[in-house]
Each structure stands twice: as C-alpha cells, then as structure tokens.
Homo-oligomer: A and B are copies of this chain.
C-alpha cells in the first residue's frame, strides 16, 4: 500500500524504513514543511517521493502517519482528518489527552487511531532515522473504541508485522504512565547535564573521566527541545507530579547522607535494586 508520512524525522523516517523493509509499504510519500528535510529523506532512501502538498499525498494513500512534534500535531492532525475519506490515520505522539480532546468531535474521528511506539533515540531529523527501531518494542494503542474497528484492525496488523507488542490504554492512563517511565527520565537527564556542566568547568575533564555510567544517565540530555518542550507542556500536570516525587526521593537521599545514616542509605539502594526484577 501507499503510506504518507508527515514529518520525516527520527520517528517518521525510521517508520518509513521499517514499513518498507517488512513489506507493509509499497511506496512512501514524505511530507515535511522543511524542503531540506525532504531532500535528505530522499537522499537517504527513507521515502520514495517528497512533497509539501499534504492534501494530495493523503488522498493517494491508504495509511497516513503524522510524526510531527506535539505542538504541531494539534493543528496538523485535524488538517489531515479534513481530507481523509477511507484512509487510516495514526499519530505517533508521546502525549495523548490533549490531542484526543482536540479531534474528539471531528467528523472523521473514527478514521484516526492514536498510537505511541515506545521507542526512540536522543537524536533527531532524517539523518537520525534507523532501521529496526521498533522491533520487540511496545506500541500503545489509545482509546481504540473511538476508532472504526476496521481502522484499528489495520493498525494492529501493520505493527504486528513490525514485530511490536501491542498494549491498550485510555489516553489519560497513557499520559500518566509515560510521565513515569519516559518523560521523567528526560527531565532528570537534562538536569544532570546542567548540573555537571555547572560544576565541572573543565570540559576536557568530563571527556576524559566520563565512563559508561555517566554517558548512560546523561544520554537523553542530547534530546531536542523542539520535540520535548511540547511534550512537557501537554503532559505538564503528570510530569510535575512525578517530578515532585523525584525531588522528595533525592532530598531524602541527601538528608540521609548529610546525617551519615548509612544503614538507611543501604536500605534505599536495596529498595531501588528492585528495578532489577522488572528490567532485564
């Protein structure tokens, strides 16, 4: 089938590669407001053709993927739904409640299936697109009951072909859980980078001494503000809630270290070690 991907960055570009590699997409039309991104996406063979004419691309497609930052998503998704007829439309966004509210009353709402592939990297743009990004990862499908069953069935089939695990959540639960297991990690990583850049004035020392552990915890601090500020904005209350809990936990560790209560510190680390059971 013909697939249109709007936004040929890390996620849109990686999805284009996967859909073609798994034989889901016969051809991929890329739509992007940046002519430069379209040029790169063509050069990298992410897409078969590029255009800025969104409506024409949508009309020629069976499946439309909207892979733009969450602030743009609020205006682009309704524009796409204005054009669709029998096409199936998905977003791949990291927050859901505001988006689903924005299209709740759209006459073509049932052509839209809200999904969130739990996969990504700290890089962005067409050059960041990689194959195999989605294999063995989770796809969250949100509020599936508001989509036409045939549209949901097509989306399920497509992402099963991409070897993803499917999980079903309502939009509100999705936003709570992603604040816990994704958004807070980005906040802590940004703050850790700022901390170390503030304290460690000798950049050469960071480079020399940083080991895998530091790189691992600070890796997400390379992520782009264009993608993440709209996510934090749309999931603000959930992010604030988990951030407040994180501040309490850190302050508690600080107080215990200040007081030299090493038995309590040991107990906290052993509680944290429970994460071993959950993550391989």
Q: Chain A interface (Cβ within 8 Å of chain B)?
A: 118-122, 137-138, 140, 165, 167, 177-178, 180-182, 184-200, 203, 205-225, 228-229, 232-233, 236, 239-247, 249-251, 253-254, 257-258, 260, 262, 265-266, 268-279
Given A207-B278, A216-B216, A243-B254, verify A181-B165 contact (CB < 8 Å). Answer: no
Given A218-B279, A276-B222, verify A200-B213 contact (CB < 8 Å). Answer: no
Given A189-B217, A206-B278, verify A194-B272 contact (CB < 8 Å). Answer: yes
Q: How many identical chains are in the complex?
A: 2
* A254/B244 in contact, CB under 8 A: yes
CA distance A193 to B180 in the complex (A): 10
10 A-B pairs whose Cβ atoms sit less than 8 Å apart in the complex: A167-B208, A185-B217, A192-B246, A194-B271, A210-B279, A213-B219, A222-B276, A229-B266, A236-B260, A239-B257
Contact partners of A194 in chain B: CB under 8 A: 249, 268, 271-272
* B272/A197 in contact, CB under 8 A: yes
CA distance A215 to B277 in the complex (A): 13
* B137/A211 in contact, CB under 8 A: yes
> Would you call the interface of chain A mostly helix, strand, loop, or mixed?
helix
CA distance A234 to B244 in the complex (A): 29
Instruction: Give the residue of B181, B190, B197, B260 whose beta carbon is less than 8 angstroms from that of A196.
Output: B181
**Of residues A167, A191, A197, A215, which shows the largest number of chain B Cβ atoms within 10 Å of its Cβ?**
A191
* B243/A193 in contact, CB under 8 A: no
CA distance A212 to B220 in the complex (A): 10
Instruction: Give the residue of B190, B192, B208, B269 whose beta carbon is less than 8 angstroms from that of A185.
Output: B192
Given A209-B182, A211-B118, A213-B182, verify A247-B254 contact (CB < 8 Å). Answer: yes
* A221/B273 in contact, CB under 8 A: yes
Instruction: Give the residue of B193, B209, B243, B251 whose beta carbon is less than 8 angstroms from that of A274.
Output: B193
